């Protein structure tokens, strides 16, 4: 575990390479990503795996969702069985890739576009074209509001949330654009079709088809695009800002993110919010001076079907109160219960 964190960039790059999903542009994004961001990316990947394999509630709901997608992809010759690990590495490793673009805009050309305005319009076009594939993977209010939220983030006066292009929305659009591009290139090089869906196996014997992109990768793109769109609870928060920006769809009266309805979106939101590595990186400037193995040794995580408990010990013990406070309102928008340090 400690070795994986030490070589987080290499680990992520190799994972993409062996999955057949790597591109030169993606490698450039990873090379230009902040090291701490890659630590967070790897942290939520491993955190999600831990939750999935130690909580039957999470496991069962995610399996039902994935099994349904697998049945839709099933062919006359192949029984396609994507598993949680496959969905999860794609979701986690892409979810924050948009930060590399936002932080180093002049270094990148996306979607074969040169200007920021052209790129933003391409993001809108891509997501509009796949809107039919958002059903059952994210709340419908996201589809009703993501375009307005894009403008809201760009025009915000709050430096903490302002971005050229919301990194989640950008990452989701970039992901499906890249997958389509890779699919087209592989389709040209692999002309022998193996089923009626136009599917084929590539040089690494990995299966590709338009049906798989529709039923697996487009939902993944939406889960990524939705993960950074924030709700405001009418009962507990000031909603004036959302009222003014016509983001009424995102003003909720009860938690909207539910495991039973949107299991993979739920898990991404949960680990992205609770990730102790992310909290420490944002909270203390001492983090950069700490060795990652020292940090890992001082984080305690207990998981079962009833609760998730995360706390710090020894050198990091003083951060428990701040961590609890930071996550004290997560139940305003996620369907979970909070008790002390337990979720």
- Measure the CA–CA gap between 151 and 139, rounded to whole angstroms: 20
Q: pLDDT digit string (tens) for 113-167?
A: 878 889 999 999 999 999 999 988 999 999 999 999 999 998 887 767 888 899 9
- Domain-embedded: residue 321: no
- Domain-embedded: residue 307: no
Q: What is the pLDDT of residue 77?
A: 65
In terms of Cα–Cα distance, which of 280, 275, 276, 231 is closest to 257? 231
Phi, psi of 269, deg, nearest 5: -60, -40
Cβ atoms of residues 110 and 174 within 8 Å? yes
Expressed in angstroms, the distance from the first to the final Cα of the chain is 24
Q: What is the pLDDT of residue 341?
A: 57
- Domain-embedded: residue 237: yes
Q: What is the pLDDT of residue 248?
A: 94
- Measure the CA–CA gap between 333 and 343, rounded to whole angstroms: 13
Q: What is the pLDDT of residue 287?
A: 66
* pTM, two decimal places: 0.93
Q: What is the pLDDT of residue 224?
A: 98
The H-assigned helical ranges of the chain are 2-6, 8-19, 24-32, 35-54, 56-73, 84-94, 98-103, 116-129, 140-155, 167-189, 210-212, 218-226, 240-244, 263-274, 276-283, 292-297, 320-326
- Domain-embedded: residue 289: no
Q: Based on the structure, what is the number of domains in the chain?
A: 1
Query: Alpha carbon 3 to chain centroid distance?
Result: 23
- Domain-embedded: residue 171: yes
- Measure the CA–CA gap between 240 and 320, rounded to whole angstroms: 32
Spans of the chain below 50 pLDDT: none
- Domain-embedded: residue 207: yes
- Domain-embedded: residue 285: no
Residue 8 domain boundaries: 2-278
- Tokens 């192949």 -> residue: 78
In terms of Cα–Cα distance, which of 52, 55, 41 is closest to 4? 41
- Domain-embedded: residue 324: no
């Amino acid at each position: 575990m400690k070795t994986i964190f030490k070589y987080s960039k290499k680990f992520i790059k190799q994972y993409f390479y062996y999955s057949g999903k790597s591109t030169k542009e993606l490698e450039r994004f990873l090379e230009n990503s902040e090291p701490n961001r890659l630590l967070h990316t790897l942290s939520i990947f491993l955190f999600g795996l831990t939750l999935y394999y130690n909580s039957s509630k999470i496991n069962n709901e995610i399996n039902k969702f994935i099994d349904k997608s697998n049945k839709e992809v099933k062919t006359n010759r192949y029984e396609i069985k994507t598993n949680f690990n496959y969905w999860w590495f794609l979701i986690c490793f892409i979810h924050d890739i948009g930060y590399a673009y936002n932080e180093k805009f002049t270094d990148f050309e996306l979607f074969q576009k040169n200007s920021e305005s052209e790129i933003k319009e391409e993001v809108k076009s891509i997501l509009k074209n796949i809107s039919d594939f958002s059903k059952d993977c994210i709340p419908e209010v996201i589809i009703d509001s993501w375009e307005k939220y894009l403008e809201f983030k760009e025009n915000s006066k709050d430096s903490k949330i302002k971005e050229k292009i919301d990194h989640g929305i950008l990452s989701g659009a970039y992901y499906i654009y890249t997958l389509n591009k890779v699919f087209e290139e592989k389709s040209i090089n692999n002309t022998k079709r193996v089923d009626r869906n136009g599917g084929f196996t590539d040089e690494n014997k990995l299966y590709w088809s338009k049906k798989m992109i529709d039923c697996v990768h487009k939902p993944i793109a939406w889960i990524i695009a939705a993960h950074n769109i924030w709700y405001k609870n009418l009962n507990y928060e000031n909603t004036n800002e959302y009222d003014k920006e016509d983001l009424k769809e995102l003003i909720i009266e009860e938690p909207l993110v539910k495991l039973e309805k949107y299991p993979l979106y739920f898990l991404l939101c949960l680990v992205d919010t609770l990730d102790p590595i992310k909290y420490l990186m944002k909270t203390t400037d001492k983090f950069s001076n700490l060795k990652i193995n020292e940090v890992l040794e001082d984080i305690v995580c207990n998981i079962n079907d009833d609760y998730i408990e995360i706390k710090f010990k020894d050198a990091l013990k003083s951060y428990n109160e701040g961590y609890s406070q930071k996550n004290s309102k997560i139940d305003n928008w996620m369907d979970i219960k909070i008790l002390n340090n337990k979720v």
